[in-house]
Amino acid sequence: MKPNLATPAPDARRPVGRKLLCDADDLEDFATELERASNTLPQRINADPEKVEQGLAKLVLTLIELLRRLMERQAIHRIEAGSLTDDEIERLGQTFMKLQVRMEELKQIFELGDEDLNLNLGPLGDLM
């Protein structure tokens, strides 16, 4: 005979037991972080068509900038490790310079500055 694995329905008249899987201090820390996060999020979404385009451009350019920085760091590590040829190093340098020029053009088109592409990564600090 198989055991019954179904969970009985809770009785509405019986209070549900309170179980904590962490310390009360952890809950207070979580509540503090949650409050801080909710204060930084906008209370409304701005649906102005002019602002939506700029907001989307800001998001995309921020992601591109983050990826560019990560790729530059990886390239530097590979250069320092000696795993790239001189031609590869030259091509990487040219590619990063072209990307930087194009990023500056796009920031001008969408009227964005470096500070607009900065992200606060919480405990990790700012992106830029």
Per-residue pLDDT tens for 43-99? Answer: 666 667 767 888 888 889 989 988 888 899 999 999 999 999 999 999 999 999 999
CB 99 within 8 A of CB 53: no
Neighbours of 126 (CB within 10 A): 10
What does pLDDT average to over the chain? 77
Rounded CA separation 17/15 (Å): 6
Question: What is the phi-psi region of residue 19: left when phi exceeds 0, alpha when psi lies from -120 to 50, beta otherwise?
Answer: beta
CB 65 within 8 A of CB 100: no
pLDDT at 98: 94
Q: Kindly report the pTM of this predicted structure.
A: 0.56
